[in-house]
Amino acid sequence: MANFLSKKHLSRRTLLRGAGTTLALPFLSAMLPAATTLAQSGAAPKTRFGAIYVPHGATMARWTPKDSGKNFTLSEILTPLAPLREQLNVITNLSHPLAYGPGGAIGNHNRSSAAFLSGAKAEPGAQPRLGITLDQVIAQRLGRDTPLPSLELMIEAASLSCGEGLSCAYRNTISWQNDISPLPMQNNPQVVFENLFGDGATVAQRDARRTQSLSLLDSVTEQLGSLNKQLPADDKARLDRFVTDVREIERRIQQAADNVTADVAVPSKPTGIPENIEEHLRLMYDLVALAWQAEITRVSTFLMCNELSTAVYPGSGVRDSFHTLSHHSNNEDNKARFALINRYHVGLFKDFATKLASLPEGDGTLLDNALVLYGSGMSDGNSHNHDPLPILLVGGAGGTLEGNRHLVFPEKTNMSNLLLALLDKLGLPQASFGDSTEMLTI
C-alpha cells in the first residue's frame, strides 16, 4: 500500500547486475504505477508461446479420447493431465500433407519435424529450404522487447548423418527464421542458463565461473536484500520463490558438471549435461519456465528428442528404445508398451504446465498467460503416416482460449489451419500460414 500511496514503482525491466551476470526479475505488483490497474499498465502480462515436439507419433487408439466436446473423458495416455483439464484442449484429425514424400509416398522422419511448425515441405538439396516457422512469426512481435526474441532447446545432440536424402537441418531443429535459416537448438543446460543470466559466452569464461564456484545469486545478494526491503508481502513471497527456483537450477547444473570425468578430454560432450535423461528433460522444462517468468523471452521451442531417437526412458517402466518400439508391427503388446512411453512424456509435460500454473502473474498465473502446443508431426510410427496427429494445446492464451475440450475436426484437416488459428489467438492475425486453406475455429 505504501508503494501505491507514494506513487513510486519499479520498472518492469529492473535488472540486478553482479559479477558477469544480469538477473531479470519476474513481474511484481510494485512494478505497477500508482493508481493504475494491471489492465491499464504497460506491465500487463504478455502471452507466452511454446511448442514442444515429440517424434514417432503415438499409440493413437490409447491417445484419442472416446468422446468429444466439453467435459470429455481423458484417454489412457492423457490421464496425467487430469489436474489441468480446465486449461487443456485435445485436437483430433489434423494432418500435415507436406510431410509425405513425393506423390504422396510414405512419409519420413525428417519431413515430420520439418513440417510441424512450418506447414512446408522439406526438399532435398545441398541448401536446405523450408519456411519461417510459427514460433518465429510470433517472436517477431512478442519477442521484440525481450532480451532474447526466442529460445530453442533440445535434449539430444544434433544428428550428423540423417539419410532419407534430406539435410540434417530438417531433423535438428523445429525453428526456422526464414526459408534458408534453420535456428540451432541448444541441449546443454549450463550454456542455456548462462545465455539467460550470465555473460560467460566462451568456454574459458564458463570454466572460470565453475572454478570460482560463483553463483549468479551470490553476485547480486546485496541488491536482492535491498530490493526486498522495499516490497510488499506478496511481492516478497513471489521474489523468494523466483530466487529459490534460480538457486535450485544452479545446484542441478553444478551437480551435472561435477559428474563429468575430469581426467579425460571429451570435447564432444558439453559440460553440465545430466547423465539421467529424465533430470535433463525436467531441467530444460524448468529453464523455460524461469525464462518466461523473468520475461527474458516469451517464445520457446523444445525438441524433446530427435526423430529416430534410440533413447530409453527408465522412468516409463519400458526398457525398449523409443524409435524401435514405435515400429510395433501392429502387435498389441508392443502398442501398449509404446503407449507407456507416450504417457511418460505427457507426464513430464504435465509437470511443466503445473509449474506454470503455480506461478502467479497479474490477476492469474503464468499458465493463464501461456499458449503451449504439444505434439508430433507423425501419427503412427509403424506406418509413417501423418494423420491423425497427436496434438494438445495447454494454457489460457491470455484469456482468449477456452479449455476442457476435445475438438474433433473433419478427417485430414490441415494442421496449418490450426497454426493460423493460434496466430489469431495471440493477436497476430494473418491471411494464411504455411499450406493453410482456412483458419480453424478453436
Measured over the CA atoms of residue 259, residue 262, residue 265 and residue 270, the dihedral's sign is positive
Which DSSP category does 184 fall into? P
pLDDT-based confidence at 5, cuts 50/70/90?
A: very low
Give residue 362's pLDDT: 87
Question: Of the ranges 109-118, 268-277, 282-291, which one carries the lowest mean pLDDT score?
Answer: 268-277
Predicted confidence (pLDDT) at residue 202 exceeds the cutoff of 70: no
Return the CA Rg of the chain.
Answer: 22
Give residue 266's pLDDT: 29
Average pLDDT of the chain is 85
354-389 pLDDT, tens digit each: 999 999 998 899 999 999 999 999 999 999 999 999
Predicted confidence (pLDDT) at residue 259 exceeds the cutoff of 60: no
In a domain, 11, yes or no: no
**What value does the mean pLDDT take over residues 206-222?**
57
Q: What are phi and psi of 113, to 5 degrees?
A: -70, -35
Give residue 260's pLDDT: 43
Give residue 11's pLDDT: 65
What is d(CA 218, CA 215) in angstroms, rounded to the nearest whole number? Answer: 5
Predicted confidence (pLDDT) at residue 162 exceeds the cutoff of 50: yes
Question: Of the ranges 2-11, 233-242, 339-348, which one carries the lowest mean pLDDT score?
Answer: 2-11
First to last CA, the chain: 41
What is d(CA 325, CA 381) in angstroms, rounded to the nearest whole number? Answer: 9
More confident of the two residues 310 and 257: 310
More confident of the two residues 342 and 103: 342
57-73 pLDDT, tens digit each: 999 999 999 999 999 99
Give residue 172's pLDDT: 94
Task: Report the DSSP beta bridge partners of residue 301.
Answer: 51, 152
80-97 pLDDT, tens digit each: 999 999 999 999 999 999
Is the backbone of residue 399 left (phi > 0), alpha (psi -120 to 50) or beta?
left
In a domain, 260, yes or no: no
What is d(CA 197, CA 159) in angstroms, rounded to the nearest whole number? Answer: 28
Helices (H), 313-433: 322-326, 332-357, 415-425
In a domain, 212, yes or no: no
Find all residues with CB under 8 Å of 211, minimum gap 6, and list them: none
What is d(CA 353, CA 43) in angstroms, rounded to the nearest whole number? Answer: 23
In a domain, 232, yes or no: no
In a domain, 330, yes or no: yes
In a domain, 102, yes or no: yes
More confident of the two residues 221 and 121: 121
Q: How many domains does the chain have?
A: 1
Percent of the chain clearing pLDDT 90 (strictly above): 62
pLDDT-based confidence at 257, cuts 50/70/90?
A: low
Give residue 190's pLDDT: 86
Give residue 269's pLDDT: 30
DSSP per-residue letters across 110-141: HHHHHHHTT------SSS------HHHHHHHH
Q: Kindly state the helix (H) or strand (E) to which residue 251 belongs, with its residue range.
A: helix 233-258
CATH label of the domain that carries residue 287: 3.40.720.10
**375: buried, middle or exposed (CB in 10 Å: 19+, 13-18, 0-12)?**
buried
Grid coordinates belonging to 355: 509449474
Query: Residues in the chain, how many?
Result: 442
DSSP per-residue letters across 74-116: PPTTTGGGGGGGGGEEEEEEEE-GGGS-GGGPPP-HHHHHHHH
Grid coordinates belonging to 396: 489460457
pLDDT-based confidence at 130, cuts 50/70/90?
A: very high
**pTM > 0.85: yes or no:** no
- In which residue are the cell numbers 553476485 written? 219
In a domain, 177, yes or no: yes
Is the backbone of residue 35 left (phi > 0), alpha (psi -120 to 50) or beta?
left
Query: Which domain range does residue 294 map to?
Result: 48-187+277-442
What is d(CA 246, CA 362) in angstroms, rounded to the nearest whole number? Answer: 21
What is d(CA 125, CA 118) in angstroms, rounded to the nearest whole number? Answer: 18
What is d(CA 414, CA 74) in angstroms, rounded to the nearest whole number? Answer: 24
pLDDT-based confidence at 261, cuts 50/70/90?
A: very low
Predicted confidence (pLDDT) at residue 321 exceeds the cutoff of 70: yes
* Buried b or exposed e, range 191-203, using 16+ CB within 10 angstroms: bbbbbbbbebeee
In a domain, 30, yes or no: no
